[in-house]
Structure 1
């Protein structure tokens, strides 16, 4: 298995009628993700210029850690709050 770091960068474009639910779920999502084994950095923040856009930047130490993160979040309050909201992500490795 590759030991390359996994980088995810992009954004989630939240409809204004769902923004409060996303904001409410975000602190726990960030806290739980940063505590995961293999999470090197994790930031999600509202764009200062584009309403409803949350910029995302993640770095995991390897594909296994990234995949474990993806699996954990599938049933999380964050997944529920952001279900079916468009995302634009670029995932790469080094």
Structure 2
């Protein structure tokens, strides 16, 4: 089965953006990990307080697409909409 992996960085440009990440990250992580098909989901701070490391793994394209759709209409999606994302998405074979 082909899994979908997203990795990269969430790059804040202001302290208000980092505040938004900090405020909404716990619920976003909880909801994401509870989604059907979510195998792994991490958003971690780095040594730079404006940059967060992102790592996601979903069981397939359908689960990944459902996650992306949920995020777009979520509080997290609204609160972090202006934050730069540098992501790489790839298919991973078992």
With the length of structure 1 as denominator, give the TM-score of the two structures: 0.92
Larger displacement relative to structure 2 (78-87 or 31-40): 78-87
SS in structure 1 of the partner of residue 2 of structure 2:
coil
How many residue pairs match? The answer is: 91
Provide the rounded CA distance (Å) in 2 between the counterparts of 1:83 and 1:8. 18
Following the alignment from structure 2 to structure 1, what is the Cα–Cα distance between the partners of residues 44 and 70? 21
Q: How does 1:44-55 map to 2 (within 5 A)?
A: 44-47=43-46, 49-55=47-53
- Residue in structure 2 matching 1:70, options 58, 68, 71: 68
Distance in 1, Cα, partners of 2:7 & 2:17: 22
Unpaired segments of 5 or more residues in structure 1? none
* Counterpart for residue 85 of structure 2: 87
**Which structure is higher in strand share?**
2
Q: Which runs of 4+ in 1 moved over 2 A?
A: none
The superposition leaves residues 7-38 of structure 1 with CA deviations (integer Å, 9 ceiling, x where unpaired) of 00001101222211211100000000000000
In structure 2, stretches of 5+ residues that fail to align are: none
Using the TM superposition, name which of 35-44 and 80-89 deviates more: 80-89
Q: CA deviation at 1:64?
A: 0.2
User: CA-atom RMSD, angstroms?
Assistant: 0.9
Paired residue for 1:4?
Answer: 2
Tell me whether 1:35 sits opposite 2:63 in the alignment: no
